[in-house]
Structure 1
Amino acid sequence: MPERLVTIAAFNEPTEAHIMKGRLEAEGILCFLSDEHIVGAQPFYSVAVGGVKLKVTEQDEEDARAVMARIQSGNSEFLLDDNIELAPPMQEHVIATTCPKCNSDHIAEEKYNKTVFSLSYLLFGFPLPFLSHKYRCYNCGHTWKIK
């Protein structure tokens, strides 16, 4: 016999419903949203259809209501499992060189040849990105290529 779904909350905004759905799923509770597309496409219909409804199975209703009460009271903490591998921090592309003329480290890489880029845009209506890989010093204006 199929399980019956029970509506445990209704939201005016689909975003709020998705946030709560994500929290319940993180707690291991299977849940569904209904009428989210109607409200998303026509926000003024939210009152007419009763908002975006968050539904859970009958057997998970008590657990879901307990989790929601914890979240709404502000006492909810979501602890990460120690076995989860987090993504490494983002690293910036650092140019490991200095200007050969003034020895400044205030430099930047110019990836495209500006002349070819501009001419191709004028002639063809779209730019052709010819790579140049030159470096320019912001202190003295010197440009050079690294070999």
Structure 2
Amino acid sequence: MAERLVTIAAFNDATEAHIIKGRLEAEGILCFLGDENIVGVQPFYSVAVGGVKLKVTEGDVMEAKAILTRIQEGNTIFDYDSIELAPPMQEHQEAVRCPNCGSDNIAEEKYNKTIFSLSYLLLGFPLPFLSRKYSCYDCGYRWKSK
């Protein structure tokens, strides 16, 4: 059976509600925001609808209220050791170098500028024809990728 959602706090500002929601989610508590869109579109309706409501499941009410109390007291110590870090990023491919001078100060042109511009003028929208070209800023040499 699904658990009921209980409102544990209400905010006049959607930004503040998102910050607290993010903190609770970082602590592992499933939470939702109610009336966030109404307040976002018409901020003056915030008082009429009761603000942006932060809701958690019944099982997490006590823990969420304890975290909110800690935040309000200014005691926001967070245990960074318990967080699972993302895997390290893979190393980048070797930088492309100019075949003429060996410089790595180059620019990559992904689209054929001529077709891109003409299609924009004639059709009203650009057609992205891929064309991998490189140009060197140091010597001015231009080449296509292999």
How many residues end up aligned between the 2 structures? Answer: 145
Structure 1's 34 and 96: CA in aligned 2 closer, same or farther, altered over 3 A? closer
Instruction: Tell me what 2:112 maps to.
Output: 113
Quote the Cα distance in structure 2 between the aligned partners of 1:108 and 1:139. 11
> Could you tell me the TM-score, scaled by structure 1's length?
0.71
Structure 1's 121 and 28: CA in aligned 2 closer, same or farther, altered over 3 A? closer
* RMSD of equivalent CA atoms: 3.2
Alignment check: 8 A CA contact 1:110 1:132 kept: yes
Instruction: Tell me what 2:53 maps to.
Output: 53
Deviation at 1:107, TM superposition (A): 1.2
Q: Which has the larger radius of gyration?
A: 1
Matched, 1:21 2:21: yes
**Per-residue displacement from partner, 1:83-115 (whole Å, max 9, x unpaired)?**
724143486676332241x33321112222222
Quote the Cα distance in structure 2 between the aligned partners of 1:109 and 1:49. 52
Quote the Cα distance in structure 1 between the aligned partners of 2:97 and 2:66. 58
Deviation at 1:44, TM superposition (A): 0.1
Quote the Cα distance in structure 2 between the aligned partners of 1:116 and 1:3. 57
Deviation at 1:136, TM superposition (A): 0.8
> Could you tell me the TM-score, scaled by structure 2's length?
0.72
Structure 1's 30 and 137: CA in aligned 2 closer, same or farther, altered over 3 A? closer
Structure 1's 104 and 43: CA in aligned 2 closer, same or farther, altered over 3 A? same
Alignment check: 8 A CA contact 1:99 1:107 kept: no
Instruction: Tell me what 1:122 maps to.
Output: 121
Letter matched to residue 10 of structure 1:
A
Alignment check: 8 A CA contact 1:99 1:105 kept: no
Aligned sequence identity (%)? 67
Structure 1's 50 and 88: CA in aligned 2 closer, same or farther, altered over 3 A? same
Matched, 1:74 2:82: no
> Which deviates further from its counterpart, 70-79 or 82-91?
82-91
Q: Which runs of 5+ in 2 are unaligned?
A: none
Instruction: Tell me what 1:141 maps to.
Output: 140
Quote the Cα distance in structure 2 between the aligned partners of 1:120 and 1:3. 55
Paired residue secondary structure (1:77): coil
Paired residue secondary structure (1:33): strand
